[in-house]
Structure 1
Amino acid sequence: MSRRSFLSTAGITAAGISGYARDWTGKNPARYPDPAIISLDPRFDKYKLGNTPVQRLYTNPNRLWNEGCAWNAVGRYLVFSDVPGDLQLRWIEDDNRVTVFRKPSGNSNGNTFDYQGRQISCQHGPRRVIRYEYDGTETVLASRFNGKRLNSPNDVVVRRNDDSIWFTDPSYGITRNYTGTKARSELKEAVYRIDAKTGGITKVTDDIVKPNGLCFSPDLKKLYVADTGEGSNDIKVWDIDGASLKNGKQFASMKLDGLLCMVRLFLVARKSPNS
């Protein structure tokens, strides 16, 4: 190619680049500190990292709900439920993929992992709490109390000092054919404990309208439960006395769903209707 031909070709290329319409829209720049992280008490401000953003890991207009997140530290993945969609999904940290983990899921809601790495799920459909064993089989941990069917187990936590399993049992999953199957409630809505050694189920409290999310204090001496009943909307707290609860009282007044209690932080997720 001659010098003149080369320059002519280069000129055409440059003209094409200059005439290209660039897209300047893009995403809005991140704001720091992230306005989505809120301290309700100024004493907690010192624990906020100014450059820590809230990141959206997944969104899909074809999914109905995202509920019951549980982190598996060994597999480095996050399990969560689409309750009316009757499936569980899994976000994988290694490649940022989200895939269907289980379908059907029994309209599972809350999930957690015990200290042996086994997943425990609350199922609205069959109205029970189950554990997935290492070989993929299911063990039913709770489906009835005193011969009567549970309502629709909602959230579940494991107490690490004795491996006992505590769960809430509101009626959200049986009020209509959406997140379960409409049915008559046979038991008062309550919080239950499953003994790790015997498998026995104990009702630890029904002094609550609609028990929802729950968590332990870091020292395992207190149990916090979100009450999402009409006219209630509280976080309640009890002292744990062995396998029972005592000294129940209001801890805070707010409308919320999931709870997580860390050493100096108390994290909550706002409640959606019928969850």
Structure 2
Amino acid sequence: MAREIGDSAPGRGLSRRTLIKTLALTAGAVALAPASALAQTSHTDPPVAPPSVVTGRDFGPDADPNVYFVDPDVLTVEPEFNSLRQGNAPIQRLWTGALWAEGPAWSSVGKFLVWSDIPNNRQLRWSEDDGHVSVFRNPSNNSNGNTFDFQGRQISCEHLTRRVVRYEHDGSVTVLADNYQGKRLNSPNDAVPHPDGSVWFTDPPYGGQLYEGAPDAPGGPSNRSGLINSRAGQPPEIATYRRELPTNVYRWDPSGRLDIVVGDEQLPDP
């Protein structure tokens, strides 16, 4: 049975002097070993890769029905999330075919899911009634994040127009924010409503490219060389937009006031 150093019986233990002597001899042997031998031993085994968390399940149209009660592929990173997690809500694939699906938001009033297909400049909707997916809004101004406020109105972050809009129940559109202190927003990305009526949203520069919005005007922070043609395929009033603001998190107040709540210097790339 192995013994801990210092716990050995008298006469049979490993003394501190003996231990130091042994370590010194070992270190000397290593120092005198040929470099080629050390190189061989250091590359004998490749680094051990961390265990993969990628699921092997099939989410295709011909996959077996999902019979999980507690889905093993729903992973909790922060323990605080467990209090919000619904155990009987397994992962299911609803639809495929978007170039880039983003910004899913559930309407508890309409009982449907809406999301953005950014490069295709459209929003799609999945209906809970029959599982049907249809084009919900086209064009969508390359919308990214979507959400619904506490009155059931949809709020969308538009990359092309660099604004946050709200769709009213009568179908009209209200622009919540498109500038801060007279400077155009970058490309609002994600938004969340607050019970007090305010809307919080992020404003990174991701939408400043042709694939998902409008490129920054030549000379702007995201197009300093001017090699990206900001006018290609864009309306005249869009092509001249130039990035003027850092990446911030904003709070829009129902009075129309817009405040920075987290600045780029506090949380880069939110």
What is the TM-score of this pair, normalised by structure 1? 0.61
Aligned to 2:259: 202
Aligned to 1:227: none
Kindly tell me the number of residue pairs found equivalent between the two proteins. Answer: 181
Aligned to 1:27: 63
Query: For residues 88-114 of structure 1, what are the alpha-carbon distances to aligned partners after superposition, in whole Å with 9 as ceiling and x for unaligned?
Result: 000000010000000000100111111
Cα 1:186–1:47 change in 2 (3 A) is closer
Distance 2:262 2:189 in 1: 15
Residue in structure 2 matching 1:172, options 206, 210, 218: 206
Q: Which moved more, 1:148-157 or 1:65-74?
A: 65-74
Cα 1:150–1:100 change in 2 (3 A) is same
Q: CA RMSD in A?
A: 2.3
Percent identity at matched positions?
54
Query: For residues 130-181 of structure 1, what are the alpha-carbon distances to aligned partners after superposition, in whole Å with 9 as ceiling and x for unaligned?
Result: 1111221111110010111100000001111x1111110000000x211001
Distance 2:83 2:199 in 1: 34
The answer to whether residue 225 in structure 2 is matched with residue 188 in structure 1 is no
Cα 1:75–1:192 change in 2 (3 A) is same
Matches within 5 A, 1:89-238: 89-160=124-195, 162-174=196-208, 176-183=209-216, 184=220, 185-196=243-254, 198-206=255-263, 207-211=266-270
Cα 1:94–1:209 change in 2 (3 A) is same
Query: For residues 47-75 of structure 1, what are the alpha-carbon distances to aligned partners after superposition, in whole Å with 9 as ceiling and x for unaligned?
Result: 87776531111112xx2111111111111
Query: For residues 198-228 of structure 1, what are the alpha-carbon distances to aligned partners after superposition, in whole Å with 9 as ceiling and x for unaligned?
Result: 11111111122112xxxxxxxxxxxxxxxxx
Q: Which moved more, 1:67-76 or 1:47-56?
A: 47-56
- The SS at the match of 1:173 is coil
Distance 1:104 1:122 in 2: 13
Aligned to 1:231: none
- The SS at the match of 2:207 is helix
The Cα shift of 1:45 comes to 7.3
- The SS at the match of 1:151 is coil
The answer to whether residue 120 in structure 2 is matched with residue 85 in structure 1 is yes
Letter of the structure 1 residue corresponding to residue 206 of structure 2 = Y
